[in-house]
Amino acid sequence: MLNQVTVNHKRSAWLTACFLLGAWVIVLLPFTTFGQDKIHKTDNSILEAKVLEINKTEIKYKKFSNQNGPAYIIPITEVSMIVYENGEKEVYNQVKSAPTGNAANGSGSPASNSTHSKARNYILTENIKEAISSYGKLIKADLTNPVLLAEDAYALALAGIYDAALLRLDQCRSLGAISPEINYFTAQVFGLMGYIDLAGEFWKPSSQNIPPAWIAAKASLLLQKYRSKTPVTSTRTREQLIANFKHANELASQTQYFQSIALFHDIVNIYPNEYLPYVGYSITLEKTGALGKSAQSIEKAISLIGNTSEDIAKKQLLEKRLATLKQNMTILPPYTAPEMPVLKAPVVKGPQMMAYAGGMVAPYSTNINGRIGYFISGSSNASIDFGMWKSAEYTASNVGLSIYNRQKSFVSGAGLLMNSANGNSAFSFKLSVGFSKMNKARTSSFDIFLDMNKGFKTDALTTFCFSIGTSKYFGKRK
C-alpha cells in the first residue's frame, strides 16, 4: 500500500559525523599506502622499497624501513612490476600463473593439472557446486596461484556467492598478479553482480586483451543465465548505509579493495548527493588500476562540493588528485566488456506513482478502498483516497487526501475525507496504521491496514475498518 523506500535522504547531524569520520580514513589512506615504492617480483613477493636507479639489467633500491641503510640490487628479470609512491606503474615481466591451455598448472603436477581441467569442465557444463569444490581443493594445495583464485572467484559469482568471489579477487590482487586473464575474470564477477560499468572498466578489449580460450565461447551464455537481474545491494535501511560506509573504509585500509569497491558502488547509487563516498570510491578504484572510473568519481565529488572558503580548499585538494589520476591514465578503448550485454542501471525518472486496491468482506459490513499516490519524498507519499463502507443500515462513500509514511514494514497515515451518507455530506479525519510487505522485485506489496474515520461533528459516526489489499508501483522503488 505504501512505497518501500527506506533510505531517508535528509542528512542528520550524526550521519554527517559518520561520513566525516570515514573521510579521514579514505583521505589519509593514499598517504599511508603510497609512502613507499613497491617492487613486485615474478615469484609474487613484494618489496617495500625506495627505488634509486633503474637501468637495462637491474634495479637499485633501499629498504623503505631502512632508507639510511645499504643499497640493494635486484636483476630486472626477477621483477614483474614497480608501483611508485604516487601510484604510477611500470610493468616488466608477467608474474607466474597457471596456463589457460593444456600445459601443467602452477603446481607442475599432472594430477593437479587434471583436477584443474575438471574444475574448468564443471563450469562449462554448469555444474557450479562441483566447480567450487574442485577449485577449493586446488587452492588449498597452492595458495599462491593467482589464476586459480581468479577462476574460483568466477565460479563463486556464478553461484551468486558474491562476497566470497570479491574476497578471492582481493587475495589474487594481494599477490601482485596483473594479467589480461585475471582482469577478464574480475570483469566477469562484476558483470554477474549486475555492475556492468565496473565490468567495462576492468576489461577493455584490445589485441593484448583476449578472453581465455577455454571459457571464451561459453562466457556470454553463462553471463546471460546467471547474472543478477538487478545490481546486488546489501543496503536497505539508513542504518545499513552507515554501517556499509564504515565497513568500506575499513576494507580499504586493509587493502581489501574489491570488497570495498562493491560497497562504495552500492552507497553512491543509493546516496548520490554526498561527495565523501565518491572520494572513497575513487581511492579504492585507483588501487585496483581502474583509473578512468576513479577519475569520474573524483569529478563527481568535486561537482557536489559547495563554494564556501572551506569548500574551495577541499576542491583544490581533489582537483590536484584528479590531475595526478589523469596524468597516470593511458589511452584505452571505451568502456565495453566483451560478451557482456550493455545494461543501464535502473533510473527513476519523472513522477513516481502507485495504485492500491483492497477491502474487507464481513457478515455485517463490507468496505472497499482505493488509492492513487505520488511520492513526495523517499519515505512519504501523498494519495487521493476513495472508498465505500456498507452495513445493513448504513451506506457511505468518501474521497479525500492523505499522507502516508513508511518505516521498514510499519506504515502510518493521516488525512482529511469528505463523507457522503444518506444524502448528507460531512468532513472527517482519517488515521491509518498497518503492515506492508514488499515483493523481491520491489514492484508491488501486500498490505494490511486498520483505518479509523472520525467525523468533526460531535454526533458524527466513528468507523473502524480493516483493509487487506495490494499496491502496484509504477517504477521500482529503491
What ranges do the domains of the chain cover?
A: 35-85, 110-345, 353-474
pTM: 0.51
Q: How far apart are CA 461 and CA 343, in angstroms?
A: 55
For the chain, give the longest Cα–Cα distance.
101
Contact yes or no for 186/204 (Cβ under 8 A): no
Domains 35-85 and 353-474 share a fold: no
In the prediction, which pLDDT does 1 show?
Answer: 36
Q: Which of 27-41, 94-108, 218-232 has the highest mean pLDDT?
A: 218-232
365-417 pLDDT, tens digit per residue, is: 788 888 888 877 667 888 888 888 777 777 878 888 888 887 778 888 888 88
Q: Which helix (H) or strand (E) holds 165?
A: helix 162-174
In the prediction, which pLDDT does 31 show?
Answer: 40
Packing angle, helices 180-192 and 219-226, rounded to 10: 30
For domain 35-85, give its CATH number from 2.60.40.10, 2.30.30.100, 3.30.70.980, 3.90.230.10.
2.30.30.100
Cβ neighbours for 229, distance < 8 A, ≥ 6 positions apart: 194
Four-CA torsion 323, 325, 328, 332, nearest 10 degrees: -110
- Cβ burial, residue 413 (10 Å; 0-12/13-18/19+): buried
- Residue 456: Cβ within 10 Å count: 10
Mean pLDDT of 303-328: 87
Residue 64 vs residue 186, higher pLDDT: 186
Mean pLDDT of 211-220: 91
Q: How far apart are CA 422 and CA 461, in angstroms?
A: 13
Per cent of the chain over pLDDT 90 is 18
All three cell numbers of 100, joined, read: 589457460
How far does CA 155 lie from the centroid of its chain?
19
Label residue 184 by pLDDT band (50, 70, 90). very high
> 145 to each of 168, 216, 219, how far by Cα in Å?
11, 21, 22
In the prediction, which pLDDT does 268 show?
Answer: 87
346-369 pLDDT, tens digit per residue, is: 444 445 788 888 877 777 778 888
Mean pLDDT of 38-59: 84
In the prediction, which pLDDT does 475 show?
Answer: 60
| Antiparallel, parallel or unpaired: β 89-91 and 353-361 | unpaired
Contact yes or no for 195/231 (Cβ under 8 A): yes
All three cell numbers of 53, joined, read: 636507479
Q: Which of 198-202, 297-301, 406-410 has the highest mean pLDDT?
A: 297-301
Contact yes or no for 262/193 (Cβ under 8 A): yes
In the prediction, which pLDDT does 374 show?
Answer: 82
Provide the 3-class DSSP secondary structure of residue 271. coil
Phi, psi (deg, nearest 5) at residue 145: -95, 105
Per cent of the chain over pLDDT 70 is 79
- Look at 41-45, 269-273, 444-448 and tell me which has the smallest mean pLDDT: 41-45
In the prediction, which pLDDT does 458 show?
Answer: 72
Contact yes or no for 277/267 (Cβ under 8 A): yes
CATH number for region 353-474: 2.40.160.20
